[in-house]
Structure 1
Amino acid sequence: MIRIAACQYAIELHESWAAYAEHLETLCAEAAGQGARLLVLPEYAGLVLAGQLAPEERGDLQASIAGIQPLLQDWRTLCIGIAARLGVYLQPGSLPVRDADGMYRNRAWLFGPGGELGHQDKLIMTRFEREQWGIAAGQGLKVFDTSLGRLGILICYDNEFPLLARTLAASGVDLILAPSCTDTEAGYHRVRIGAQARALENQIAVLQAPTVGLAPWSPALDENIGRAGLYVPPDHGMPSNGVFAESAELCPAASQWLICDFDLEAVRRVRAEGQVFTRRDWPEQFEKARLC
């Protein structure tokens, strides 16, 4: 049994490094203080760093992501320190990172008590990212072996594509972390439905953490709607609707943690003893789906 926490993360303005660092440390300590060992923040949570830029810079879509690049190493050091001090695994959301080829990619790191474990890039870009923001797609999926279990990360839109989660499941992942950022209720539901579907298809668990609230100072994060949730296959020992836990409010005024105790062994039992074997029967569906 592990205690895990997904944050409904309110986008707030922190105009100095000290203010931002205190905010992130306090927020993570709140969840760790309740016994959580895995903390997940949403997609583009790291873009809150842009609050430290001059108003005209943080208010410009392209300038805001360029402006935070000098802060990234200090941000990673901050996250490493938080994970070590609290003894937790921390996925602090994602943020745009400029690579050596000059392209920006939407990147999510995972930090553990012993340091940085690696990162996962978003693989499929939304229209906004591709057409307006110039964010490039990443390459390849990664798995993260932790003392809690084998984890994977699918960022927001990536949860809407079955083969990505299927690849992680085939690699032994039992829990997918799904940091998300959506500016409409429809967008939130697309990711949520995708997360539930991936849990059903692969007989695994998916933990979603969204951004919430209004941030008129940021052209990228100006409107945010979402609900944190943990989704599982609806089967023996699991909720009949596949919703293991979900935060009470769709869009709270302040950041809130969804904290729940979860046994990864329970999803493994479903795969071995469930009423259905959706994960096992994947190859059969491709054979039957061929046109005659």
Structure 2
Amino acid sequence: MDPRTSGESAPCRRERWGRRPRWVLLVLLLATSASLRPARAAGDDLVVSVYQGVCREGDFAANLATARTVVEEAHARGSHFVALPECFLSGYESVEAVQRGARPLDDPELAGFIEESASHEMVVLVGLARKAKDGLYNSVLVIARGRLLGVYDKVMLTGGDREVLGFKPGTAVPVFSAHGVRFAAIICHDSSFPHAAMVARLQGATLLFSPHNNEIGAEVADGHRLAVRNCHVGLASQLKMVVARANIVKSDREGRIGYGDSFVLSPQGTPIAEAGLFRTELVTARVARSLLETPSAWADDGEVPAWLRTQLAQMLTEFRRPPGDAALKTWLENMIVHHRFAPREVSAATGLTIQEVRDASRRLGLEGAKPEPRRPEEPLLVLPYPGGRHPRIGFLDGAVMPQRETKLSVFTPWDDASYVVVDVPEAVFSNLGLIYLAHTHVPMIWDAKGVALPRLEWRRDEDGSFHGERTLPNGIAFGADVAPSPSGVRMGLWLRNGTDERLTGLRVQNCVMLAGARGFAAQTNANKVFRAPYAAARSQDGRRWVVTAWEPNQRCWGNPDCPCLHSDPQFPDCEPGETVRLRGWLSFYEGDDLDGELERIDQSGWRE
């Protein structure tokens, strides 16, 4: 660890700050910088300055005075842009400081500062706790030529931002243009994620400002510094942007330090200029415009193929946000109470943030809720599989973005936290080719035509049965009916030929995925029995079984990597306008007489 960031050296730093007034440090900075002041940029270079210094907590007037001095110095250096740290004008240390220093955009002192920018052509970016009619925002004001160009509000709030300081999250990533370059701002925790910066880059921004206000526990400061710098290096090099970070320095609270480490990075992620640690300094970098215009020698975003861009976009938006509180409660109960999803998994399935998941769970009375015990005479519990957690352990490349509209979870009778996921149907083949696949892997005939199939959901009846139906672009329709009972689950598939041609080779894959059932997750086929039409998997302790069957049956098998069971049927050939059907079964068994159990299932009439 750098001794300047260690817990042992922090008291020395605090003592030195305590003996010397902060305004003296600023005067020293500006006095000593005169001899180091670079000349105005030669040629067409872009000059970018970032300020690293002390923020007076809650003292708007003092911080505004510092900002004016910094702007004057940046102007003297020929800067096109100057950025100051997060919440610099207001303070960020505590809710009291934030409330004292917060200002609305129509504040007279702030308006005067904005008007002063008419005297130069620089763009000034400064952080403020911004009061608005609907709440408080952690904002960067973008100021140029006597007016406010716009505001960026921090999107990725920390728990402290939200719960302690009372900030609301931003909902947009604006991009601005000045001095022949498009630029944007993110704030502190935003830089821990690629999303906001990527949105800016996709709007054409090549210059990204990242103001911070990092006051960190001394014992973790060095690790934090490395992580934050590496995040910015990643953003710069992956998105091919010039990234400019402005942070505070501070050491007046026991055990906490603001270390600085402000910098300007090239699109290769290398420093063009940097301030170092624990120093009040205005960092100025000359940025050759060629860095903003020429792609990296090693990669160009235009090389990324369309399918990969499309898949990324689909994966980022694969979640399904429940419409309204009634649907939200149903899905949260499904995920949290029954499937035991963690907040991160619920977030992936719903698009809610982790904090929104926690808030909704409390508000809807689901925090700590447990499922009602199932009585033996009641049907097996069947629920739509919500997504957000992959139902496989392995062979994940064979099931990218699994769709939930064909998947149902059937919970075991012996453990209310264990379930198998039935994919019905997983795939439908025909003489036309692969006409349906419930995930991304082998292309369907629709993929070649550029036709996307719409998302669907299961329909649930009052008796607990489920029904799903899909009509394909060529008029073929198919559907599934699933009805639980105390002894098992009866399943049916139907297909209607809406084309003018006879359909043949109508093979179906129906998958039973075992990863969610305790004791059945071994990636092997040694614990499985295939006796057409039955496919069965034995638990690790040898006492329990999962059994499935479909008829007319064309193949029983299992994929040990998933792991899963298949009893795959085949529809009869189907004439135009005709409907054909299949019958299926799923059940659980405790005991060591599998032969006797299969005979009992045979006599249950599941084929009818």
TM range (shorter): 0.7 to 0.9
Distance 1:244 1:188, change over 3 A: same
Letter in 2 for 1:209: A
Task: Map 1:62-77 to 2 at 5 A.
Answer: 62-69=95-102, 73-77=107-111
Letter in 2 for 1:3: V
Distance 1:280 1:166, change over 3 A: farther
Distance 1:139 1:106, change over 3 A: same
Matched residues in 2 for 1:81 and 1:87: separation? 12
Distance 1:137 1:24, change over 3 A: same
Letter in 2 for 1:138: G
Distance 1:127 1:264, change over 3 A: farther
Letter in 1 for 2:258: N
Secondary structure of the equivalent of 1:291? helix
Hey, what does 2:48 align to over in structure 1?
4
1:47 aligns with 2:90: yes
| 1:208 Cα deviation from its structure 2 partner | 0.5
User: What TM-score, normalized by structure 2, do the two folds share?
Assistant: 0.40
Matched residues in 2 for 1:182 and 1:95: separation? 15
Q: Give the counterpart of 1:263 among 288, 299, 321.
A: 288
Q: Give the counterpart of 1:78 among 97, 105, 112.
A: 112
Hey, what does 1:56 align to over in structure 2?
none
Matched residues in 1 for 2:232 and 2:305: separation? 18
Secondary structure of the equivalent of 1:145? strand
Hey, what does 2:441 align to over in structure 1?
none
| 1:23 Cα deviation from its structure 2 partner | 2.9
Letter in 2 for 1:170: L
1:97 aligns with 2:120: no
Matched residues in 2 for 1:170 and 1:99: separation? 28
Larger Rg: 2
Distance 1:148 1:77, change over 3 A: farther
Q: After superposition, give the CA deviation of every residue in 1:42-67 in whole Å (9 maximum; x if it has no partner).
A: 1111124x9xxxxxxxx9x3333333
Secondary structure of the equivalent of 1:10? coil
| 1:285 Cα deviation from its structure 2 partner | 7.5
Q: Give the counterpart of 1:29 among 72, 91, 95.
A: 72
| 1:192 Cα deviation from its structure 2 partner | 2.1
1:179 aligns with 2:204: no
Letter in 2 for 1:189: L
Secondary structure of the equivalent of 1:166? helix
Matched residues in 1 for 2:120 and 2:213: separation? 26
Distance 1:152 1:2, change over 3 A: same
Q: Give the counterpart of 1:206 among 243, 260, 273.
A: 243
Matched residues in 1 for 2:264 and 2:88: separation? 19
Hey, what does 2:595 align to over in structure 1?
none
Q: Give the counterpart of 2:230 among 184, 187, 193.
A: 193
Matched residues in 2 for 1:145 and 1:213: separation? 33
Matched residues in 1 for 2:206 and 2:79: separation? 18
Q: Which moved more, 1:150-159 or 1:79-88?
A: 79-88
Identity of aligned residues (%): 18
| 1:9 Cα deviation from its structure 2 partner | 1.9
Hey, what does 1:251 align to over in structure 2?
278
Matched residues in 1 for 2:190 and 2:60: separation? 32
Letter in 1 for 2:173: L
Matched residues in 2 for 1:134 and 1:63: separation? 11
Q: Is this contact kept in 1: 2:80–2:179, CA < 8 A?
A: no
Letter in 1 for 2:270: G
Matched residues in 2 for 1:279 and 1:203: separation? 12
Matched residues in 1 for 2:236 and 2:60: separation? 40
Gaps of 5+ in 2: 1-44, 316-395, 399-608
Q: Is this contact kept in 1: 2:98–2:165, CA < 8 A?
A: no
Q: Give the counterpart of 2:199 among 140, 161, 167.
A: 167
Hey, what does 1:242 align to over in structure 2?
270
User: What TM-score, normalized by structure 1, do the two folds share?
Assistant: 0.79
RMSD over aligned Cα, in angstroms?
Answer: 2.9
| 1:172 Cα deviation from its structure 2 partner | 0.5
Q: Give the counterpart of 1:147 among 160, 179, 197.
A: 179
Q: Which has the higher helix share?
A: 1
Matched residues in 2 for 1:46 and 1:161: separation? 25
| 1:225 Cα deviation from its structure 2 partner | 1.8
Q: Is this contact kept in 2: 1:201–1:279, CA < 8 A?
A: no
| 1:214 Cα deviation from its structure 2 partner | 2.8
1:119 aligns with 2:151: yes
| 1:14 Cα deviation from its structure 2 partner | 9.1
Distance 1:70 1:132, change over 3 A: closer
